[in-house]
Amino acid sequence: MTQLSKLATIGLAKEVTPNVYLSPTVGIPFTKGDFEDVIAKIDDQSWRGNDTMMQGAYPGPEHATWDIDLLAYPDLMGHMLCGTIGPDTVTAGVTTTLSTTTVAGATSISTAATIPLGSTVSIGTGATLEYFTSGTPTGSGPYTIPVATPTGGLTYAHTSSVQVSTQTTHTFKQSPTTAIPTYSLTVYDTTQYLGYSGLKWTDLQIKIDPKAALSLSTKALAFPGVVQSTVSETYTAFTPFLGWEWTSTQNAVASTRGLTLDLTVKRAGEAINSSDGTQGPREIFVGALECSGTYKAIFENQTDINTYLNYTQQAMVATITGRLLDGAPSLAITMNKTAWTKGKRDLAQPYVQADFDVEGIYNATDGGAVSVVLKNWTTTAY
C-alpha cells in the first residue's frame, strides 16, 4: 500500500553511554529528513579467463548519513548547539510559588521568593499559562512583583501555590577537554521504526532572514540503522524564532542594515572502521570547529565595507528575541573576533546592497570561534 510521507517521524535522545541506543525523548518536527545507510562496495575484478570486468561485489564498511532541516524552535535547538559547539553551562532561573490568589487584570503578584527587575516570568499551566515582564520587586517575603508588561496586567486569574518561574540560561562554548556527546535518532519511515545510535552532528547551519522563520540545516554521521519497536515522540509546543526578531551589532554598535545572515558551525567527521571485527564503525569522530558564513546588508555608508577593507576583525553579534506571548525566548550568537574575508557591493538590486563572507577566529572571550547563549524554559542541561 502506498504510504503518506507526512506520517514519517524522527525522534531524538542524547545518549547516556556513547553509541548505545536510546528511545527518543523529543520529536524533531522536520521539513527535510534525508538519511541513508551507506555500504561501501568492495569489487572483485580478478582475471578468470572471461571477458567480464566484474567477478564479484562484496559489502564493505557501513555507516549512516543524516541531513535534517527544521525550524529553530527555542526548546529543541539546544541539542544541536550542544552537539556541535560544546557543553551547555546552565544558569538557573527563579522557581517559586504564588503566595496569594490573583485575578485577571492584576498588575502585580505576590511570591514566596523575589524576582529580579526585567525578568521574563511564566505563571500558570495549561490553558492559563501566560508570561509577563517584571518590574522592581518590593517586600521581604512574600514579595510583591509588579507586572510591567503587558500594561493591562495578567490575562487570567491564578490560584495560590501555582508555580511562578523565570527563564533558564544555556551557554554553549567549545571545550577541548569535554567529549562531544552522541545521540540516537529514531525514524519511522511509515513501514517500520529504525534506530541510529552513536550519532554526531558535523554541520549546523543557522539561517536568519527577516522574511521567514529562523531555520536550521544539520548534517550528521551515525551507526547503521537497527529495527526498533514502536516509539512515540513529544513535540515542541513553542513558536520557532522568527527572522524579523533579529537585531545585529558590529563592534558593540547596533546596525539595522542586516538583510540576511547564514552561519555554519561545522566539524569534519569520519566514521572510523578499525580492527573490531564488525562492519559498522568503531566510533564517529569529529574534529576541530569552524564557524563561517555570509552576511548581506544594505549599503548606505562605508561602515561595513571598511570593516572588510581594513581587516579590523571586530565582534559580531546576532540576537533574536521572541515575542512575550511566546515566552520571550532569546538566542545570541557571538563571534568576538570576526574576519570579514570578502566584501562586494551589489549594484544589480533596486537598492544598493553588499555581500560579505565572515569567519569566526579563536578568542579567549568565546573560548573558541563562536559562543551561543540560549534563554528558554528548559531547566535541565542539553
* Alpha-carbon gap, residue 363 to 344, rounded angstroms: 26
Whether the per-residue pLDDT at 341 is higher than 90: the answer is yes
pLDDT in tens, 76-94: 999 999 999 999 999 999 9
pLDDT band at 221 (very low <50, low <70, confident <90, very high): very high
Question: Which single residue is written with the C-alpha cell 541506543?
Answer: 21
And the C-alpha cell for 42?
568492495
DSSP bridge pairs for 282: none
pLDDT band at 141 (very low <50, low <70, confident <90, very high): confident
pLDDT in tens, 90-135: 999 999 999 999 999 999 999 999 999 999 999 999 999 999 999 9
C-alpha gyration radius of the chain: 25
Percent of the chain with pLDDT over 90: 98
pLDDT in tens, 243-283: 999 999 998 999 999 999 999 999 999 999 999 999 999 99
Cβ neighbours of 21 (radius 10 Å): 18
Question: Which single residue is written with the C-alpha cell 579563536?
Answer: 362
Nearest residue to 332 via CA among 173, 213, 158: 173
Environment class of 298 (CB within 10 Å of its CB; exposed 0-12, middle 13-18, buried 19+): middle
Contacts 24+ apart (CB under 8 A), 114-118: 114/139, 114/141, 114/143, 114/145, 115/143, 115/145, 115/164, 115/166, 116/166, 118/148
pLDDT of residue 361: 98
* Alpha-carbon gap, residue 219 to 227, rounded angstroms: 22
* Alpha-carbon gap, residue 71 to 35, rounded angstroms: 18
DSSP line for 23-40 = --SEE--EEEEEEEEEEE
Sheet (strand 246-250) strand order: 88-91, 168-172, 371-376, 330-335, 316-321, 246-250, 253-255
* Alpha-carbon gap, residue 95 to 108, rounded angstroms: 17
Nearest residue to 158 via CA among 147, 168, 169: 147
Say whether the peptide bond before residue 142 is cis (omega within 30 degrees of 0): yes
pLDDT in tens, 3-57: 999 999 999 999 999 999 999 999 999 999 999 999 999 999 999 999 999 999 9
pLDDT of residue 251: 86
Question: What residue spans define the domains of the chain?
Answer: 5-37+61-90+170-376, 94-166
- Chain centroid to CA 208: how far? 13
* Terminal-residue alpha carbon distance, the chain: 40
Written as one letter, the residue type at 25 is T
Nearest residue to 175 via CA among 279, 41, 83: 83
Distances (CA, A) of 121 to 182, 320, 336: 33, 18, 30
- List b or e across 68-104, with b for residues whose CB sees 16 or more CB atoms inside 10 angstroms: bebbbbbbbbbbbbbbbbbbbeeeebbebebbeebee
pTM: 0.95
Percent of the chain with pLDDT over 70: 100
DSSP bridge pairs for 185: 12, 196
Across the chain, what does the average pLDDT equal? 97
DSSP line for 174-212 = --TTSPPP-EEEEEE-SS-EEEEEEEEEEEEEEEE-TTS
In the 8-state DSSP scheme, what is residue 308? H
pLDDT of residue 10: 98
In a 3-state reduction of DSSP, which class is residue 284? strand
Q: Do the Cβ atoms of 25 and 185 come closer than 8 Å?
A: no
Average pLDDT value for residue range 290-305: 97
